[in-house]
A and B are shown apart, each in its own frame.
Chain A
Amino acid sequence: MVAITTELRRQLSVKRSSDRAGLVFRSLLVFSLLIAFAILVAVLLTAVTRAWPILSERPLDFLTSKSSQDPSRAGVWQGIQGSVMLAAITAGVAFPIGIGAAIYLEEYAGDTRFARFTEVVVRNLAGVPSIVYGLLGLAIFVGNLGGLTGGRSVIAGGLTLACLVLPIVIITTQEALRAVPGELAQAGYGIGATQWEVIRSVVLPAAAPGILTGTVLSIARAAGEAAPILVVGALTGVFQTGTMSFLEQMQGFFTALPMQIFAFTKQPSEIWGAHAAGASVAILLVVIALNSVAIYVRARLDRNLRK
């Protein structure tokens, strides 16, 4: 009897060492995770150390100076300006259209052929490389609509980026709308709300955190994109922005932070490398901040759902 219990106890006690294959496997997994961590840390460290000459000496001056041939006076102010304007135009165009299209597809279109066709198109469009959107922008917004946008302008760039994030906004909004329990909409209809009232007052508020997460992430994506606006014609060199009116500024030459990073990396000397790294630090801060907002919103959403 005693013998049986000890035997049983021996069998039930899990010995980690005996599961060697499992341990190796687990270590491999942790290793891959560590690689991912290490890469992120290395990217951040490289950016900061390379940018140190600038970060330590003139961090604010670097951010608020215009571009210049002289590395000790050059800054990224125009790039920041351009990126902010691009992001604003992108958000202003892509969010209403994208969210509207998603609501239409989810709530109105039903299971029609048009809806299915749109779904397929949008999903595949999200996978089209960003530089191809640059071609669209170059042909349509710079070419055909040049009179309206002013050619190679912030408007053309912003519209191009809006097209780029449009499928992403649509897809994330659709997912957020699908996650809203059908009973809530039913409740709204049951009280005598019209379809629009149900969407506006019940479905959209419930889906708002999800939609917000998606849109914030898409703006972060747009802010970091260089390929499309490169094709559309963001400048890489030195240029002047004087005292132009708002409209002229919108229709004039422009650059953006990612474009400036690209331009700086093309310069051979060490100090321009520091500029590239400095601009990278700036853009990383913005992107990580946007990302944190999205993560925070989603975490709150999860908490609310659990309640």
Chain B
Amino acid sequence: MARRGVGAFLEIAQYCLVVMAVAIVEFYSGGFTGPVLFGRKLFETGTPGDFGPSNWTIGLVIYAAWVLWRAMGSTTPAGAALQQSFVDRTGAPAGFARTMVRNLTKFGAVYAFPLVMFDGNQLLWVALFVGCGFIIEAMHRYESPWDIVAGTTLVANAAKASPRSSGALTLSDLQLSGSRQAQDRRAANLLRLAGWVAIIVSLLIVWVVFKEAYVFVSDQDFSFGLLNIEGERKGWYPRRGLFDISTLLIGTLWVTGIAMAIAGPVGLGVAIYLSEYATPRVQRIVKPVIETLASVPSVVIGMFAIFFVSPSLLRFFFDDIGIFSIVAAGIGVGILTIPLVASITEDALRAVPRSLREAAYGLGARKITVALKVVFPAALSGISAAFIVGVSRAIGETMVVAIAAGGSGGTLFGYDPLVPGQTVTAAMASLGAGTDQVAGSGLAFQSLYFLGALLFLLTLALNVISDAIVRRFREVY
């Protein structure tokens, strides 16, 4: 069994070093106030250079992070320095959770409880720490209470296997050095943590959006009649308590329809050209262009819509059209959707096996016949998936509509796409941009989340459908 008392001395030494480092940094940085969490100051450094209690707290936070880091490798900061680590009863390396149970038990028993008792008198605390070290060292034959609680045992790490020992092979030659083992475990734990953060972020979105949407729906002022107003005042004016969803849905339908009328054919054409006709040289030129188009920010396209599409293009067809209109927004969204449709469609076309094309060419088919009669039908499901994703993107596009469709305060119900209007997303943007005013005014703020939930469900459904199509299409080949 490894000697533990040494570890206890080392622990306090490490901690004091951290505290001193904090004090030094504080001195040179001029001091600062820590963040406020849940209405309470987390810590405050006090007067710069003053070796006060705050340094101990900051040091504790840093040391705790260090402990967590080492616990991922089944050891502690002191243990790592002494080449020791924890194993569980079976002799396997102790997991992160087990190591932390052990550390926290020890912290509570030896460090935290006396810290409270001594009312922050760090000198007494350090004395106790050192005393504990002596006791633990004296009793190193016996398992410590916290090790018993957590079911851990401290062991010395396996020695580094020596290269090709001349003598007989021993078991330790077939064991990994403790530091590499710890490093491997720590990496695995950290990566698992990252995976969990990703999942938590994902679930948070769903939870937050639907929780607030539920607040909207369950409010006593709310009735479903609000969502579909009959009569003169039909429209979406959340700040006046008018929540006619159909107004927004019609706007969304127009914008999406116009967008897909542009992005569909153009995207498809570009994709077919790229996959069936273009030489590699042409591809090398065209692809970056499409990618650049894909990366143009939507606000820029919004600007393009009101500075070019409306005045120069739409005026040509409709004499009395204003700068802001649903059509202009739809065209802008269409431009943004072209690269998406093109790239997914191209992937679908490329997924069609070469052998299928060659079979058709072998029968003397022309290029157009191969493209339209062989490749296109074979890739049809992938292409429809691309269109669905395009629709989903068009529905979710915000800034182009917020800029080009006008109607920022609200919109009256109507079917005419040549006048200003709003979509679900644009309505959210105008609500969100003014959240300061909205905050106190009843349902308006929650209606933002209601729209968010609606949007979320809509796009999720579309994505699930396209995913299902793509998966079926993968199975064919």
Q: Which residues of A contact B (CB under 8 A)?
A: 19, 21-22, 25-26, 28-33, 35-37, 39-40, 42-43, 46-47, 50, 96-101, 103-105, 107-109, 117-118, 121-125, 127-136, 138-140, 147-148, 163, 166-167, 170, 194-197, 199-200, 217, 220-221, 223-227, 230-231, 233, 236, 245, 247, 258, 261-262, 265-266, 273, 276-277, 280, 283-284, 287-288, 290-292, 295
**Most central of A135, A284, A287 by chain B CB within 10 Å:** A135
Interface: B190 (CB within 8 A): yes
Known: A129-B398, A130-B396, A231-B432. A118 touches B298 (CB 8 A): no
List residues of chain A with CB within 8 A of the CB of B191: 100-101, 103-104, 107-108
> B326 → chain A, closest Cβ, in Å?
17
Given pairs A147-B38, A195-B187, A231-B428, 16 additional interface contacts (CB within 8 A): A22-B367, A29-B277, A32-B267, A36-B270, A36-B290, A43-B304, A101-B194, A121-B199, A123-B463, A125-B202, A128-B459, A132-B452, A139-B208, A170-B198, A226-B297, A261-B297
Q: Is the CB–CB distance between A148 and B307 below 8 Å?
A: no
If A129-B395, A197-B184 touch, does A33 touch B269 (CB 8 Å cutoff)?
yes
- The CA-CA distance from A118 to B201 in the complex, in Å, is 11
> A-facing mask of B205-224, CB < 8 A → 1, else 0?
10011001000000000000
Is there an interface contact between A133 and B205, defined as CB atoms closer than 8 Å? yes
Q: Which of B29-37, B52-60, B113-121 contacts A (4 or more CB under 8 A)?
A: B29-37
- By the criterion CB–CB under 8 Å, are A195 and B188 in contact? yes
In the complex, how many angstroms separate the beta carbon of A49 from the nearest chain B beta carbon?
A: 9
Does B17 make an interface contact (CB < 8 A)? Answer: no
Whether B300 pairs with A284 at a CB distance below 8 angstroms is: yes
The answer on a CB contact under 8 Å between B303 and A261 is yes
The residue that A131 contacts in the complex, of B292, B302, B455, with Cβ under 8 A, is B455
> Shortest Cβ distance from A271 into chain B, in angstroms?
13
Interface of A is mostly: helix
When the two chains form their complex, are residues B435 and A138 in contact, meaning their CB atoms are under 8 A apart?
Answer: yes
B314 lies within 8 A of chain A by Cβ: no
Residue B449 at the chain A interface, CB threshold 8 Å: yes
Q: Could you write out 7 A-B pairs with CB less than 8 Å apart?
A: A131-B398, A131-B455, A148-B36, A194-B176, A226-B299, A227-B298, A291-B291
Contact across chains for A288 and B292 when beta carbons are under 8 A apart = yes
Chain A: CB-nearest residue to B274: A33
- Asked if A166 meets B201 with Cβ closer than 8 Å, knowing A30-B273, A196-B187, the reply is yes
B266 touches which of A36, A196, A227, A261 (Cβ 8 Å): A36
Please indicate the chain B residues that have their CB under 8 angstroms from the CB of A104 in the complex. Answer: 191-192, 194-195
Chain A residue nearest in CB terms to B286: A33
4 closest Cβ pairs, A-B complex: A129-B396, A32-B269, A224-B297, A100-B194
A132 and B456 within 8 A (CB): yes
> Chain B, 416-451, contact with A by CB distance < 8 Å: what is the 0/1 string?
000000000100110011011000000000001100
Is B402 among interface residues, defined by CB-CB distance under 8 A? yes
Cβ of B403 under 8 Å from chain A: yes
Query: Chain B: interface secondary structure?
Result: helix
A196-B403 CB under 8 A given contacts A127-B463, A130-B398, A261-B303: no
Given known A96-B194, A262-B403, contact A121–B35 (CB-CB < 8 A): no
Asked if residues A163 and B205 are in contact (CB atoms below 8 Å), the reply is yes
For residue B87, give the distance in angstroms from its CB to the closest CB of chain A.
18
Residues in chain B near residue A138, CB distance under 8 A: 432, 435
Task: Determine if B240 is an interface residue (Cβ-Cβ < 8 Å).
Answer: no
By the criterion CB–CB under 8 Å, are B208 and A280 in contact?
A: no
Contact for A129 among B197, B289, B389, B455, CB less than 8 A: B455
Q: Is B198's CB under 8 angstroms from A98's CB?
A: yes
B296 at interface, CB cutoff 8 A: yes
Q: Is B433 touching A230 in the complex (CB atoms < 8 A)? A: yes
Give the residue name and chain of the A residue nearest to B199 (CB). Answer: A118
Measured CA separation A22–B428 after assembly (Å): 47
Asked if A109 meets B195 with Cβ closer than 8 Å, knowing A32-B273, A127-B459, A148-B37, the reply is yes
The answer to whether residues A128 and B366 also contact, given A104-B191, A236-B433 and a CB cut-off of 8 A, is: no
Which B residues are CB-close (under 8 A) to A40? 289, 292-293, 296
With A220-B295, A265-B303: A22-B366 Cβ-Cβ less than 8 Å: yes
